[in-house]
Structures are given as C-alpha cells and as structure tokens.
C-alpha cells in the first residue's frame, strides 16, 4: 500500500500509526503530530539524494517508533526533532550507511538489530538522554 497523499494536508493529526506502507513520503509535514509509529514500512530516496530527513517538519513530534522498516537507496538517514523525547529504532532492514540523530531533548532511546542489518550511528546529539536500551538479535 502506498501512503495516502491526501493525509499530508491534514494538519490536525496528533498521532499517526502506519503499517505495511510500501512507499512513504520523503518528508512528513504534520506540524501538530506528537506520536508517529511506523511498522513494516519502506523509506526510499527517489531522487538518490545523499540523505533522507523525513521528520524535520514535524515540529511537535515527541515519540517516534520505527520498527521492521526497510531502507532503500539511502546513504544517510537523519532523525531530527527539537521536541523528540522517545525514539525506538527496531529491526531495520536494508543497508543504511549511517544514521544521524539530532534530538537535544531525547530522554529514551531504544535500538534493536537483526541479523543482516547494518546501522551505523554517526552523529548523536543527545545531551539529556536518561535511558538507553540496546539489543542485538543474533538469530
């Protein structure tokens, strides 16, 4: 299923849960979005830019969960959010060269790798981080 582009104009959305969306937009522009949960979705750089920063315009995003998602044609994936408090990055698929996280108010960070996933955290700006949960699944 492709992302329904008609949702992009819904500025009032505060919580969004997407599952099995095979074509996500390169940028989410939900200015009031507080919570975003993505499961079994695909991120893809359609113009082959060096990086993808899909959440930069979600100014009120506090919770971001990315689970079992696939990354295609992306050299660098950037997660930025001045209001972001909680980030879960679990069982990603594909070859992401690097992930940059700029979330100065982040207090909770969880990451889980599966076999065959390559995630390199390059730049982390997390001065208020309190809880970190890292799990590597070798099965």
Per residue of the chain (139 residues), what is the pLDDT tens digit? 888 888 877 889 999 999 999 888 888 889 999 999 999 998 887 666 678 899 999 999 999 999 988 888 788 889 999 999 999 988 777 665 688 899 999 999 998 876 666 667 777 878 899 999 988 876 5
Candidates 136, 122, 110, 131; CA nearest to 50 is 122
Per-domain residue ranges for the chain?
11-136
Against a cut of 0.95, is the pTM above it?
A: no
Per-residue confidence (pLDDT) for residue 14, from 0 to 100:
96
C-alpha span between 89 and 73 (Å, rounded)? 19
> Which pLDDT score, from 0 to 100, does residue 108 have?
97
Please report, to the nearest 10 degrees, the dihedral formed by the alpha carbons of residues 118, 96, 124, 38 taken in order. -100
CA distance 122 to 115: 20
The CA-atom distances, in angstroms, between 90 and each of 9, 53, 67, 70 are 29, 18, 5, 11
Q: How many CB atoms lie within 10 A of CB 66?
A: 22
Q: Residue 22: which region, alpha, beta or left (left: phi > 0; alpha: psi -120 to 50)?
A: alpha
Torsion from C-alpha of 43, 35, 67, 38, nearest 10 degrees: -40
pLDDT for 138 equals: 66
């Amino acid at each position: 299923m492709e992302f329904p582009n008609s949702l992009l104009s819904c500025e009032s959305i505060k919580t969004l849960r997407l599952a099995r969306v095979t074509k996500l937009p390169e940028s989410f522009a939900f200015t009031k979005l507080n919570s975003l949960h993505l499961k079994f979705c695909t991120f893809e750089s359609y113009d082959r830019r060096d990086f993808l920063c899909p959440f930069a315009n979600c100014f009120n995003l506090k919770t971001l969960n990315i689970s079992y998602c696939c990354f295609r044609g992306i050299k660098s994936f950037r997660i930025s959010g001045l209001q972001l408090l909680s980030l879960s990055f679990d069982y990603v698929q594909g070859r992401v060269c690097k992930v940059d996280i700029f979330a100065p108010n982040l207090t909770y960070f969880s990451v889980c790798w599966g076999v065959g996933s390559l995630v390199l955290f390059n730049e982390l700006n997390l001065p208020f981080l309190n809880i970190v949960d890292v799990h590597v699944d070798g099965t």
